């Protein structure tokens, strides 16, 4: 299988705080990497360093063998990364369809093709019947799905999902887990930051545990969740 993503020695500092401290990881096509850790562990920061939204002070990132360490976020998107935002960021004044049209224009020719792709993405996430609704009016679960549709509309090869399960009620959570599992079968590589253990255990092939910016454990979901250091990081210091 093709190596989708490789990160080596990623370090991000905010003033005196080292939010991410020499973290390395690799990811293959069709694989799901779970990123867990207590609040403030540096998950979102690592996620942003990988997608280019926060500059990495040290380290190297390659995307399908291509060095993207110095590339701004929009170039990484064009190179095959798609992402969601932990706090959803819809284009508020636009309708649901228009929101997805923006990314849909990236890999299509002309507005008819873009529109067809956007509608297809909305259909995939189950928002097709809300295409004409102002994005501002969506509830949380639907805003999440809109984030997903936007991330998918750039036709990514690697998808970065930042806590898309948080705050969902049990049926919505089940649906979302099923949806992400479906994406994997399409061959997408996925990096997933998640607090919901059920989702991590059901979906991840591989899990990385961060605490205070450092990687303290990695392995299969089963191995990681029974690791003493991990249990301590979650229960001990919080």
Ligand X SMILES: Nc1ncnc2c1ncn2[C@@H]1O[C@H](COP(=O)(O)OP(=O)(O)O)[C@@H](O)[C@H]1O
Which residues in this chain contact ligand X in the complex, by CB under 6 A?
14, 17, 19, 37, 39-45
Beta carbon of residue 33, minimum distance to other proteins (angstroms, whole number): 19
Task: From the list ligand X, Mg ion, other proteins, none, pick the one residue 17 interacts with, judged by a Cβ distance below 5 to 8 Å according to partner type.
Answer: ligand X
Alpha carbons within 13 angstroms on the beta-carbon side of residue 22 total: 1
- E strands, the chain, are 3-14, 17-28, 32-36, 58-63, 66-67, 81-83, 158-162, 189-193, 206-211, 214-219
- Shortest CB 42 distance to ligand X, Å: 4
Choice between 98 and 194, CB closer to Mg ion:
194
| Residue 175, token pair as written in the block | 């649906």
* C-alpha 162 chain-centroid distance: 5
Q: Residue 70 touches which of Mg ion, other proteins, ligand X, none (CB < 5 to 8 A by kind)?
A: none
Query: Interface with Mg ion by CB under 5 A: which residues?
Result: 44
Q: Which is nearer to ligand X, 42 or 52 (CB)?
A: 42
For position 47 contacting other proteins by CB under 8 A, the verdict is no
What part of residues 180-219 is at the interface with other proteins (CB under 8 A)? none
Among Mg ion, ligand X, other proteins, none, partner that 133 touches (CB below 5 to 8 angstroms by kind): other proteins
CA atoms within a 13 Å half-sphere pointing along the CA-CB vector of 68: 25
Question: Distance of CA 51 to CAs 76, 92, 162, Å?
Answer: 7, 23, 11
- The stretch among 4-12, 70-78, 173-181, 188-196 that binds other proteins (CB under 8 A) is 70-78
Query: Which region among 89-97, 162-170, 189-197, 222-230 touches other proteins (by CB under 8 A)?
Result: 89-97
92-96 contact pairs (CB < 8 A, 24+): 92/134, 92/135, 92/136, 93/134, 93/136, 94/134, 94/135, 95/131, 95/132, 95/133, 95/134, 95/135, 96/122, 96/127, 96/130, 96/131, 96/132, 96/133, 96/134, 96/135, 96/138, 96/146
Q: How far is the CB of 175 from other proteins (least distance, A)?
A: 21
Q: Is 51 in the site for other proteins (CB under 8 A)?
A: yes
Residues of this chain that interact with other proteins (CB under 8 A) are 51, 53, 72-74, 77-78, 82-83, 85, 89-95, 98, 101-103, 105-106, 111, 114, 129, 132-134, 150-151, 153-154
């Amino acid at each position: 299988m093709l190596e989708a993503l490789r990160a080596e020695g990623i370090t991000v500092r905010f003033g005196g705080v080292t939010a991410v401290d020499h973290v390395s990881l690799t990811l293959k096509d069709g694989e799901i990497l779970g990123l867990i850790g207590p609040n403030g562990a540096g998950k979102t920061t690592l996620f942003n360093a990988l997608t280019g939204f926060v500059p990495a002070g040290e380290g190297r990132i390659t995307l399908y063998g291509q060095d993207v360490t110095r590339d701004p976020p929009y170039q990484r998107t064009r190179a095959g990364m798609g992402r969601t935002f932990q706090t959803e960021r819809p284009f508020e004044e636009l309708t649901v369809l228009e929101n997805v049209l923006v990314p849909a224009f990236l890999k299509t020719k002309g507005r008819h093709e873009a529109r067809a792709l956007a509608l297809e993405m909305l259909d995939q996430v189950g928002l097709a019947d809300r295409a004409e609704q102002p994005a501002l009016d969506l509830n949380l679960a639907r805003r999440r799905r809109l984030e997903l549709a936007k991330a998918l509309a750039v036709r990514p090869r690697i998808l970065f999902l930042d806590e898309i399960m948080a705050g969902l009620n049990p049926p919505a959570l089940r649906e979302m887990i099923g949806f992400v599992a479906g994406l994997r079968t399409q061959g997408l590589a996925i990096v997933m930051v998640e607090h919901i253990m059920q989702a991590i255990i059901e979906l991840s092939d591989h899990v990385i545990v961060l605490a205070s910016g450092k990687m303290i454990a990695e392995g299969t979901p089963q191995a990681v969740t029974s690791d003493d250091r991990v249990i301590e990081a979650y229960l001990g210091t919080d």
